[in-house]
Amino acid sequence: LVTTRPRPSQRLFFFIADLQRLIPALHFYPRKQFSLKEICQFAANRDFTHVMVLGENAKHCNGMTISHVGGKDGLAGPTAFFKVSNVVTSQNIPNHGASTRHIPELNLHGFGTRLGHRVGRLLGSLFPHDAEFQGRQVATFHNQRDYIFVRHHRYIFEEKKQKPTKKKGVEEKTEPEKPLGVKDKVKARLQE
């Protein structure tokens, strides 16, 4: 469940749309005049696992609070606050690949410390654990010096084709072609 601060700007809705493409089964509910305690109780009653509250300053998203919900009173913990900066929405990326409704693969890099394990597990719990590989989508969270870089991308497999070699004046011999190895056949590249 994702919600915003009261009276959000239009730019925040573009960010929410990108979050809905990134995290499967993410639902947006408008904040209106409800308190956070009421929203957490609503989420717990509807069997949501997390509540995400987005804050903004000067029409730019600047904060995200993620809380695990459950139980009768709503909050079960843990709760984490992330400062948000340098957001590039998908509409600002030229020639970006269209996102599909498949569950993405999840890559967590650099979460090796004790606190990193907790944050990585919190971020990993936002996603279902059964990735659909045919969608070729990846959600990457990269932790570097306490900054978490988030990227959602698709990849493409390209097969290498063998070109026949012909020499002038030399008769071609029919030799059995040796099969291509996996490294020779497939090359993966990113589709933004």
Note the pLDDT of residue 120: 94
Which pLDDT tens digit goes with each residue over 161-185? 666 655 555 555 555 555 555 555 5
In the chain, the amino acid numbered 4 is T
Query: Rounded to two decimals, what is the model's pTM?
Result: 0.75
Distances (CA, A) of 177 to 65, 180, 183, 187: 58, 9, 17, 21
Cα 163 to Cα 14, 32, 131, 189: the distances in Å are: 46, 63, 36, 21
What's the average model confidence in pLDDT over 147-151?
93
Q: What mean pLDDT comes out for the span 103-124? A: 93
The terminus-to-terminus CA distance of the chain in angstroms comes to 26
Q: Of 74, 4, 12, which Cα lies nearest the Cα of 32?
A: 4
CA–CA separation, 15 and 86 (whole Å):
12
Backbone angles phi, psi at 157, to 5 degrees: -95, 130
For 71, the token pair is 């139980």
pLDDT (tens digit, 9 = 90+) per residue, 30-89? Answer: 988 888 888 888 898 898 999 999 999 988 899 999 999 976 666 677 899 999 999 888
